[in-house]
A and B are shown apart, each in its own frame.
Chain A
Amino acid sequence: MDLFNNLIFGFGVAFSLQNLMYCMIGVSVGTLIGVLPGIGPLATIAMLLPLTFNVAPVGALIMLAGIYYGAQYGGSTTAILVNLPGETSAVVTCIDGHQMARQGRAGPALAIAAIGSFIAGTFGTLLIAVAGPPLAEMALKFGAPEYFSLMLMGLVAAAVLAQGDMIKSLAMVAMGLLLGIVGTDVNTGVQRFSFGITELSDGIGFIVVAVGVFAVGEIVANLGDPAERRFFTDKVKGLMPTWVDFKASIGPIIRGTAIGSFFGVLPGTGPAIASFSSYMVEKKIAKDPSRFGKGAIEGVAGPESANNADAQCKFIPMLTLGLPASGVMALMLGALTIQGIQPGPEVMTSRPELFWGLIASMWIGNALLVVLNLPMIGLWVKLLKVPYRLLFPAIMAFSAIGIYSVNNSSFEIYLTAIFGVIGFIWIKLGCSPAPMLLGFVLGPMMEEHLRRAMLMSKGNASVFFTRPISLGFIIATIAILAIIVLPAVRSRRSEIAG
């Protein structure tokens, strides 16, 4: 009953007027920056950090946390409405979410994203409360070989992402791998494909590629096709999901939550992997995978739940071990330190009001976000009726502002424009950008972990098979390969036989 008492205690802390206010401010700011591409929670929290010096630690942490998970909600809004990923994690939502919007189903897409996020957030919060410390211990067992095997599994599973032409999909994955290589090599410090341009020495930003290919490319393609120009038609069919939508979404939400929680606990995985994985799982198990990419609600429900569960569970290593799983978490640790609190395992016992208060506030914050977001849907959908000659320049302007704000660099705006052109060419060639982005995300991480594993094992590849967790992933990878390859072989056989 300890847990129950602790949670009650936590809600007591979080429900104080002051802390409710901080929670409200946090999630509102978070939603706002989530909607804007580029400017993310990291920069926002860094800038707001000095303001929190004079706030009580609990309030400060509640507010900063609110900004972080609030951004995950906001990020999906523009992804669905105008194909503009507001946050890295919302890229996958573009694929089917925006297609839904084009079919006049922006309302249901936004609503399912909010509801899925709420369910995932609730579960993630509960997970922190129930199993935080043991999960964090488990995550520590992940070294370079484990991460490599996990990502290998992800890349093999990505074959599922392939839409239509297998060759085109593989080419796009390879393209992503190549783009991901740009920048300074971690192991040797050598610059690759940076052509002496200083701005490229840290690699190409994910958000630059995503905004360029998805938002800019899409707009250019739409302008080139007069029939498509009125794509945000007035054929809006209802704001809320139907019963059928709910039934189709509940499975993806549950699976997405589980997938997101798994990746959330592991510090070495970025924000996009959880949502990509969820999308791949949904597509693989769907009765009719061809609906994906054409406005399948499962393709919104799953990834949106996954990225919120991931965001919530990233708190586990931070709160229980004092380990930063991401840049944002490092900032939160910094905020605690500045408040005179030594982050680490003792926080749970020495400052229970902080630990349990934060957990309770996350649940309240998630509820607030749903309450904030659901009534907004009507407003958002009305935005789609803005004529394209106003809407398109506005999207471009907001993209440019957002991209600039990441590094205060105009170079990245030019780079986004270039990716816009490339994205347009890909649309014309019928190449789907999703596999490219997956390669872009997974490729550099895989390479890094592979080479680190080999460096540490002195070139002995057996590390991948002798370490149990890594071996588990390798076996799973082979199983996935079998699932993908066997049906194809069988159907060919029956063709021959017939």
Chain B
Amino acid sequence: MPRMRSLLLTAAALLALTAPLAAQSDYPNRPVRLIIPFPPGGSNDVVGRMVATHLGEKLGKQMVVDNRGGAGGTVGTELVFNAPPDGYTLGVVSIAHAVNPWLYKLPYDPRKLAPVGLMATGTNVLVIHPSLPVRSVKELIALAKQKPGELQYASAGIGSFQHLGTELFKLEAGVNILHVPFRGGGPSMNDVLGGHTKIMMSSLVQTTPHIKSGRLIALATGGKKRSPILPDVPTVAEAGVPTYEALNWWGIVAPAGTPQAIIDKVNTALSQVQELPEVQKQFDLQGASVQKMTAADFGKFVLAEMSRWERVVKEAGITAQ
């Protein structure tokens, strides 16, 4: 098996060496595979599929979505990493991509993946169950300082953005709140709605219905600016933790060595897709907003995110594996 694989890899590499010359001008001349490193149904999948449909139209060839879930997104991203760098295999990455290097021993170097572009960013909301006797971030911090380690927050699991976003909050605010991990976003939300755990930081799309119905109270949002969906809710920075910023984001990467011309072509097509009103509307409904970036800027963005979460993982002492 390994021999077969290495033979194939060599063949692929040889092809890759000769192919770009011919391929760049007529790229794409066959369907492009977009690997989504999570199973169907999650935010990565929704965002990725939405973009894939339109991106395929703009590029003139179908874009085939390939869900390869497992191990916090590392299984699928490894596939992208090992794919021939001909532009016919692209991958979706998210905030997990910037967190995984510090949680897992990765079989690939995430910094070596070629950045293609940012698709969108999403806002997180810090919510509490109404039975918790606080109504602002300052009151929450005061209560947490009064009872260190006694308040509890729910997350979708170790290393999830709900977990890291709250850990960042704890670091910046200097408080100790107990982490209660769950198996996924749904179960954790159920628990907070039942008032068993009382604090959670989660996505806009997951929390908004419950904020509107009064079952949860929004204390703050995690971005730099207020969210247009919850205009009355301050940002965490406004509400008393000025250094806080944590966003969800989704972007596209390619295997290292993918020709720049192809990357630019996909990036241009992506920014055209981002301008489509229906795409913007769909993102709005997901509590996310499109954000354009050149491939180079996206590369810098990913590196900045990696160092942000490296600090949180190390200072908060988060371990997996």
Give A contacts to B, CB under 8 Å.
42-43, 45-47, 49-50, 140-144, 184, 186-191, 198-199, 201-202, 267-268, 317, 321-327, 329-331, 334, 337-338, 340, 342-346, 407-409, 448, 452, 455-456
Top 3 A-B residue pairs of the complex, sorted by shortest distance between their CB atoms: A46-B40, A189-B320, A189-B158
With known contacts A144-B196, A455-B180, A201–B71 Cβ distance under 8 A: yes
Across the interface, which residues of B come within 8 angstroms of A199, CB to CB?
Answer: 70, 75
Across the interface, which residues of B come within 8 angstroms of A141, CB to CB?
Answer: 194
Contact of A189 with B159 in the complex, beta carbons under 8 Å: yes
In the complex, besides A331-B41, A342-B208, 13 extra interface pairs with C-beta distance below 8 angstroms are A46-B45, A140-B193, A184-B158, A190-B321, A198-B70, A268-B190, A324-B186, A325-B190, A331-B40, A337-B286, A338-B286, A407-B70, A408-B66
Across the interface, which residues of A come within 8 angstroms of B209, CB to CB?
Answer: 322, 342-344
Q: How far is the CB of B101 from chain A (nearest CB, A)?
A: 15
Segment from B6-14, B46-54, B257-265 that makes contact with A: B46-54
Across the interface, which residues of A come within 8 angstroms of B60, CB to CB?
Answer: none
A407 to B318, CA, bound (A): 28
Across the interface, which residues of B come within 8 angstroms of A455, CB to CB?
Answer: 178, 180
A408 to B64, CA, bound (A): 13
Q: How far is the CB of B218 from chain A (nearest CB, A)?
A: 14
B152 at the interface (CB under 8 A from A): yes
Contact of A143 with B70 in the complex, beta carbons under 8 Å: no
Query: 0/1 per residue, B162-188, Cβ < 8 Å to A?
Result: 000000000000000010111101110
Contact of B158 among A188, A202, A342 (CB under 8 A): A188
Q: List 19 A-B contacts (CB under 8 A).
A: A142-B194, A143-B191, A143-B194, A186-B182, A189-B157, A198-B107, A199-B70, A199-B75, A201-B71, A267-B186, A267-B190, A323-B190, A326-B186, A337-B205, A338-B286, A407-B69, A408-B68, A456-B178, A456-B196
With known contacts A199-B70, A334-B46, A187–B210 Cβ distance under 8 A: no
Contact of A407 among B68, B158, B208 (CB under 8 A): B68
B67 at the interface (CB under 8 A from A): yes
Across the interface, which residues of B come within 8 angstroms of A46, CB to CB?
Answer: 40-41, 45, 49, 67
Contact of A330 with B41 in the complex, beta carbons under 8 Å: yes
| Minimal Cβ-Cβ distance residue in A for B184 | A327
In the complex, which of the residues B49, B186, B205 has the most CB atoms of chain A within 10 Å of its own CB atom?
B186
Across the interface, which residues of A come within 8 angstroms of B45, CB to CB?
Answer: 46
A450 to B167, CA, bound (A): 24
| Minimal Cβ-Cβ distance residue in A for B150 | A458
Contact of B193 among A184, A189, A202, A321 (CB under 8 A): A321
In B304-321, the 8 Å CB interface with A consists of 318-321
Across the interface, which residues of B come within 8 angstroms of A346, CB to CB?
Answer: 212-213
Across the interface, which residues of B come within 8 angstroms of A409, CB to CB?
Answer: 68, 70
Across the interface, which residues of A come within 8 angstroms of B319, CB to CB?
Answer: 188-189
Please tell me the number of chain B residues within 8 Å of chain A, measured between CB atoms: 53
B123 at the interface (CB under 8 A from A): no
Q: How far is the CB of B108 from chain A (nearest CB, A)?
A: 11
Give B contacts to A, CB under 8 Å.
39-41, 45-46, 49-50, 53, 66-71, 74-75, 78, 103, 107, 152, 157-159, 178, 180-183, 185-187, 189-191, 193-197, 205, 208-210, 212-213, 215, 282, 285-286, 318-321
A456 to B196, CA, bound (A): 9
Contact of A327 among B41, B178, B197 (CB under 8 A): B41
With known contacts A42-B41, A141-B194, A189-B319, A201–B70 Cβ distance under 8 A: yes
Contact of A342 among B212, B282, B318 (CB under 8 A): B212
A338 to B43, CA, bound (A): 12
In the complex, which of the residues A45, A47, A334 has the most CB atoms of chain B within 10 Å of its own CB atom?
A334
Contact of A338 among B196, B282, B321 (CB under 8 A): B282
Contact of A43 with B40 in the complex, beta carbons under 8 Å: yes
A331 to B39, CA, bound (A): 12
Contact of A344 with B50 in the complex, beta carbons under 8 Å: no
A184 to B74, CA, bound (A): 14
A186 to B179, CA, bound (A): 12
Across the interface, which residues of B come within 8 angstroms of A344, CB to CB?
Answer: 209-210, 212-213
Contact of A186 with B193 in the complex, beta carbons under 8 Å: no
Across the interface, which residues of B come within 8 angstroms of A408, CB to CB?
Answer: 66-68
| Minimal Cβ-Cβ distance residue in B for A406 | B39
Contact of B187 among A49, A50, A268 (CB under 8 A): A268
Q: How far is the CB of A261 from chain B (nearest CB, A)?
A: 18
In the complex, which of the residues A317, A344, A346, A448 has the most CB atoms of chain B within 10 Å of its own CB atom?
A344
Across the interface, which residues of A come within 8 angstroms of B46, CB to CB?
Answer: 49, 334, 338
Q: How far is the CB of B52 from chain A (nearest CB, A)?
A: 9
Contact of A140 among B185, B186, B190 (CB under 8 A): B190
Contact of A186 with B210 in the complex, beta carbons under 8 Å: no
A334 to B45, CA, bound (A): 11
With known contacts A50-B50, A267-B186, A140–B210 Cβ distance under 8 A: no
A337 to B191, CA, bound (A): 22
Across the interface, which residues of B come within 8 angstroms of A407, CB to CB?
Answer: 39, 67-70
A338 to B321, CA, bound (A): 37
Q: How far is the CB of A354 from chain B (nearest CB, A)?
A: 14
Contact of B196 with A143 in the complex, beta carbons under 8 Å: yes
Across the interface, which residues of A come within 8 angstroms of B285, CB to CB?
Answer: 337-338, 340
Q: How far is the CB of B20 from chain A (nearest CB, A)?
A: 27
A345 to B196, CA, bound (A): 20
Q: How far is the CB of A140 from chain B (nearest CB, A)?
A: 4
In the complex, which of the residues B157, B187, B189 has the most CB atoms of chain A within 10 Å of its own CB atom?
B187
Q: How far is the CB of B68 from chain A (nearest CB, A)?
A: 6
With known contacts A189-B158, A198-B107, A456-B152, A140–B180 Cβ distance under 8 A: no
Contact of A267 among B187, B195, B320 (CB under 8 A): B187
Across the interface, which residues of B come within 8 angstroms of A188, CB to CB?
Answer: 158, 319-320
| Minimal Cβ-Cβ distance residue in A for B70 | A202
Contact of B213 with A345 in the complex, beta carbons under 8 Å: yes
Q: How far is the CB of A485 from chain B (nearest CB, A)?
A: 33
Contact of B41 with A190 in the complex, beta carbons under 8 Å: no
With known contacts A267-B190, A268-B190, A337-B286, A190–B71 Cβ distance under 8 A: no
Contact of A187 with B181 in the complex, beta carbons under 8 Å: yes
Across the interface, which residues of B come within 8 angstroms of A50, CB to CB?
Answer: 49-50, 53
Contact of B183 with A186 in the complex, beta carbons under 8 Å: yes
Contact of A186 among B40, B157, B178 (CB under 8 A): B157
Contact of B70 with A323 in the complex, beta carbons under 8 Å: no
Contact of B182 with A47 in the complex, beta carbons under 8 Å: no
Across the interface, which residues of A come within 8 angstroms of B196, CB to CB?
Answer: 143-144, 456
Across the interface, which residues of A come within 8 angstroms of B191, CB to CB?
Answer: 143-144
Contact of A189 with B321 in the complex, beta carbons under 8 Å: yes
Q: How far is the CB of B132 from chain A (nearest CB, A)?
A: 14
Q: How far is the CB of A60 from chain B (nearest CB, A)?
A: 14
A455 to B197, CA, bound (A): 11
With known contacts A189-B103, A268-B187, A323–B193 Cβ distance under 8 A: yes
A324 to B71, CA, bound (A): 23
Contact of A448 with B186 in the complex, beta carbons under 8 Å: no
Across the interface, which residues of A come within 8 angstroms of B66, CB to CB?
Answer: 408
In the complex, which of the residues B49, B66, B71 has the most CB atoms of chain A within 10 Å of its own CB atom?
B71
